[in-house]
Amino acid sequence: MKGMTVIVKTIASWVKILIILFGIYIILFGHLTPGGGFAGGVILASSYVLVMLAYGREFVQKDLPLSLDSKLDCLGAFAFAMIAILGFVFGGTFFYNFLSKYGQQFKLISAGTIPLSNIAIGLKVGASLFLVIFILSTFRRDTSGSEKE
Amino acid sequence: MVVFYILLVFIIIGAIIAVETKNLLSAIICIGAIGFGASLMFLFLRAPDIAITQIVVEVLGLIILIRATISRDLTFISGDKEFFGTVVSVVIIFMIFLFGIRVFDTVPEFGEPVFAQTSGAASQTYLSEGLEETGAANIVSSVILDFRAYDTLGEATVLFTSIIGATVILRKKSRKSLGDLDE
Amino acid sequence: MIGLLPAFIALPLAVAFLLPLFGKKGKDAATIVANIVTVSLLVLAVVAVFYGQYGIYEIGKWSIPLGINLVLDGLSSFMLLAIGVVAAAAMLFSVRYMEQYTAKSKYLSLFLLMVAGMNGVVLSGDIFNLFVFLEIASLASYALVGFGCEHEELEASFKYMVLGSIASIFILFSIGLVYGNTGTLNMAFISRAIQESGMNVGLAFALSLFIAGFGLKAALVPFHAWLPDAHPSAPAPISAMLSGVLIKALGVYALARVVFNVFGVSVPLGWTLVTLGVLSMVIGVFLAVGQWDMKRLLAYHSISQMGYVVMGIGLGALIFARGGSSVWASLAILGGLFHLVNHAVFKSLLFLMSGSVEMATGTRQLKQLGGLGTVMPATRAVSFVASASIAGVPPFNGFWSKLILVVSAVGAGFYGLAGVTVIVSLVTLISFLKIQRYAFLGELPENLQDVKENKGTMLYAMIFLACLCILMGLLVLIPGLREAVLEPAVDVLTNGLDYSANVIEKSQEMIL
Amino acid sequence: MPYALCFLLFMIGLYCAVVKKNMVKIVIGITVMEYAVNLFLIMLGYRFGGVAPIMEKDTLESGMQQFLNTSVDPLPQALVLTAIVISLGSLALMISICIRTYEKYGTFDITEIRRLKG
């Protein structure tokens, strides 16, 4: 698949940046406004799905290789688990919000570990959903052997 | 109040079409319509977090579902149904429905949530203490990532499990040939 | 010990998140790490049982009902021990057995996720959290059933997944009903609210949905359709995990917890459980006798043996609800729980044995086998031990639990139940004589002349479980062990509704 | 009454999952059931004239009591957020099993699949 026309490609490459910015906004402000790690992560994934639809799968492979994607998936999940374990280390209890007293209410830096968890979850959800859509769409349709193992 | 009925009826009609249509692609489009109806419904039910999540999840879910049917020769379902089995299951399901409908008398009326009537309910504390204790202005966010963060760990794990499962199910070669075994 | 409770979930989860990073090259390292994890979980579980100090752990320092709590009591530590034993053995067995499949590091990751999900279900004190971890374990098991990606495996996996998803949605729906009625999600608080307000139609409907949902997960008879397909299709260590502990942790444990500790027992409820148990026992065993596929035969026996467990627990509930003698009631529950852990050991051993035979000969059809006793003596020995256990031959562990069940049924005056138990046990004996006769005795077929015994880790795993089969009779015979392991678990169920008072009291102590 | 419509939706999904023979239709039925349960949970927390459980800066000034008396229940929203993601995960796994099965058997019809298996 070679992708779509030049118009679609150009627009997609600009819109991609907007979508990614929007996703990052949704993730970062998840503790103040509606949204959060999950919604933002799905938006991040959909930006790459858009690029994949416009340019074809090979292009996306160069931009975001599948091995990197699955590593991000694992690392995001692990980072979230680490936040829980750090709560154990610093606060004595699993998932203790050990930073909750820092920052100012209604400001970006507030709510302790909640924004950090949002970032970890956003990374994990974005990477994993893009991964699943990618492998679903490549299954038995290309012969280049992009599947791992 | 009327808007809820309109949306619910819209969702139910969408569901009936999705269930009964012979064309798989239009069934999936109907699922999309149901999802957007549900998303609007969440918005009117004052759950903006859920509405956002529902709408983005809906988009990706539709892509996944369409992947299952597109470029397949089989978008139409053919074949006759077993009449007897269908009738029996419809009757059983209808009876469960008639029995189950009485159940909703025991939960509080629509519009009068249970947490406002129960003294010492957790939700009251979330609303009154949430900002003070966690510092997050979005109470739902403070519930999912602080009070009940352990659930969210489970949820992230569910997603991780399903992705690993999907890669495992869709891998190219599942068994090694016998020669590889003796290494 | 209580401070270490999250380790039961966090350790396998953290390792499972990292294992796919190892990829193809680090396969051996991944295997070693996964084995270390399961063994350390087993050690933790043994410590949890024999330390004998029970309590609750509040995650994030939020006191209940604000946060989620983990509850360690006799029943959950007992289940943790069963999960730990079977998981360690099955993981050891997979080291060599899974070499015939690709994507081993992902297999290990899914395996650990399944273990983490089961540990989470067993420890959770919050009904929605229980649902979340139940989904983790279920999703991992759906993927593992289809791991081979062949025709039968995919079909079985799809069937299992559809029924399992419907069960999960039932459970979620009834969680919604319970929340609508009581305004809380913590099991202790739900139980207190139900004791104050009494049962109503909504709660009864929620309870019946819970029974249907957990019954589907436990494959009790009207809901058993998925099990005979799913369990034989999975790779052998996974069959051992599914039959050995998954249906118990997600099905019977969750059912017992909800029925005894949250809703409280009643006479109709007791009869429902006894009926489900007896139906599973009888139908499962008669379907099993006619099978010629070794793993399918074992899978049908899982249904039948789960019937014993549910029958024992239900009998206890029935006697209690009628106000009968508490001695017989707790004896029936003891029999049920003891049979649960016995079944975990011998059924996983049987599945591992069938995997060993399948790997050596390439088939599991009994008609194509024969005479394996001469070429695979060790496998033959463990299969004899396991068959004797499941059939209830005296020195082995299955005998003791069945004896307890029969004695309690007779003592409480349910002679019919005792008779059914004995007859089902005899039919079980017949079908295992069939396995012995067709697989291990008789003539060795031409094409199987050069079959060799599987050496190494596969054999060690089977010998470990076989030793347990022989030694576990001691659990009831030695009073000290019984008081340490079985009695606390039985107490949790016999003093069912004290659960909420205990948990709430412990939580208030922690605030002070 | 809205609950009853929600329950009707649940039953439509159950009917579809139990009766239909096509694998994609079964998946659709399960998805409909999940929508019904999610809607039911959120409805439990709604109150007439409620506001979303998100604080603004002026909430603190205009009075917490006002917010407490009008906000909808945040707990079911947290539960549904979890449930939506869980259903997305199981949808992805189910569809991958469907696609792989289609590749093996060439059909989505489960009776056909059973017949082919023999």
Comparing B180 with C260, the larger pLDDT belongs to C260
Here the tokens at position B52 are 């956002």
Does the beta-carbon distance from A114 to B153 stay under 8 Å? no
pLDDT score for B182 = 43
**In a domain? residue D53:** no
Min CA distance, B130 vs chain C (Å)? 10
pLDDT score for B152 = 87
Specify whether the CB–CB gap between C261 and C276 falls below 8 A.
no
The whole-angstrom separation of Cα B26 and Cα C63 is 49
Range with the poorest average pLDDT among A4-18, A26-40, C381-395, D100-114: D100-114
Provide the residue range defining the domain that includes D67.
2-47+60-117
DSSP state of D47: B
Q: What is the 3-state secondary structure (H, E, C) of C60-103?
A: HHCCCCCCCEEEECHHHHHHHHHHHHHHHHHHHHHHHHHHHECC
| Single pTM value for the model | 0.92
Chain A residue with minimum CA distance to C17 = A74
What burial class does residue C328 get, using C-beta atoms within 10 Å of its C-beta: 0-12 exposed, 13-18 middle, 19+ buried?
Answer: buried
Min CA distance, B177 vs chain D (Å)? 19
Chain A residue with minimum CA distance to D81 = A38
Q: Give chain D positions within 8 Å (CB) of A140.
A: 103
Min CA distance, A7 vs chain B (Å)? 23
Is the pLDDT reported for residue C21 higher than 70?
A: yes
Q: Give chain B positions within 8 Å (CB) of A137.
A: 67
Q: Give chain C positions within 8 Å (CB) of D117.
A: 151-152, 155
Query: In angstroms, what CA-CA distances link A112 with A103, B133, C374?
Result: 8, 10, 67
pLDDT score for A145 = 38
List pLDDT tens digits, range D36-46. 999 998 888 88
What burial class does residue B180 get, using C-beta atoms within 10 Å of its C-beta: 0-12 exposed, 13-18 middle, 19+ buried?
Answer: exposed
List pLDDT tens digits, range C192-213. 888 888 888 888 889 999 999 9
Using a CB–CB cutoff of 8 Å, tell me whether D24 touches chain A.
no
Comparing C45 with B124, the larger pLDDT belongs to C45
Tell me the ipTM for this assembly. Answer: 0.91
Report the DSSP beta bridge partners of residue C57: C70
Nearest-Å Rg of the Cα atoms of chain B is 23
Using pLDDT thresholds of 50, 70 and 90, give the confidence band for residue A140. Answer: low
**In a domain? residue A145:** no
List pLDDT tens digits, range B129-151. 777 777 777 888 888 888 888 88
What burial class does residue A82 get, using C-beta atoms within 10 Å of its C-beta: 0-12 exposed, 13-18 middle, 19+ buried?
Answer: middle
pLDDT score for B13 = 92
The whole-angstrom separation of Cα C86 and Cα C468 is 11
Chain D residue with minimum CA distance to C177 = D41
**In a domain? residue D55:** no
Min CA distance, A7 vs chain D (Å)? 32
pLDDT score for A100 = 65
pLDDT score for C113 = 92
Specify whether the CB–CB gap between A39 and A26 falls below 8 A.
yes
Q: Is the bond preceding residue C65 a cis peptide, omega within 30 degrees?
A: yes
The whole-angstrom separation of Cα C472 and Cα B77 is 55
Using a CB–CB cutoff of 8 Å, tell me whether A140 touches chain D.
yes
The whole-angstrom separation of Cα C285 and Cα C280 is 8
The whole-angstrom separation of Cα A59 and Cα C346 is 53
Is the pLDDT reported for residue C112 higher than 90?
A: yes
Q: Enumerate chain C positions whose Cβ falls within 8 A of a Cβ in A.
A: 6, 10, 13-14, 17-18, 20-21, 23-24, 57-61, 102-103, 106
Q: What total number of domains does chain D contain?
A: 1
Range with the poorest average pLDDT among C119-128, C345-354, D98-107: D98-107
Specify whether the CB–CB gap between B152 and B144 falls below 8 A.
yes
Query: In angstroms, what CA-CA distances link C429 with C185, C390, C408?
Result: 45, 8, 22
Q: Taking all residues of chain A, what is their mean pLDDT, rounded to a whole number?
A: 78
CA-nearest of C509, C499, C496 to C186 is C499
Chain D residue with minimum CA distance to C181 = D44
Residue D90 dihedral angles phi and psi, to the nearest 5°: -70, -30
Q: Taking all residues of chain D, what is their mean pLDDT, rounded to a whole number?
A: 84
Does the beta-carbon distance from C17 to A77 stay under 8 Å? yes
Task: Rank B120-124, C135-139, C223-227 by mean pLDDT and report only the highest.
Answer: C135-139
* Domain boundaries defined on chain B: 1-77, 121-171
Q: Give chain B positions within 8 Å (CB) of D51.
A: 46
The whole-angstrom separation of Cα C260 and Cα C187 is 11
Q: By three-state DSSP, how is residue C330 classified?
A: helix
Q: Indicate the helix (H) or strand (E) that contains C57.
A: strand C55-58
Share of chain C above pLDDT 70, in %: 100
Any residues with CB less than 8 A from the CB of D67 and at least 6 apart, and which?
Answer: B127, D51, D55, D59
Is the pLDDT reported for residue A85 higher than 70?
A: yes
- If you count DSSP H runs as helices and E runs as strands, how many of each does chain D have, helices first? 6, 0
List pLDDT tens digits, range C237-258. 999 999 889 999 898 999 999 9
Write out the E strands in chain A: none
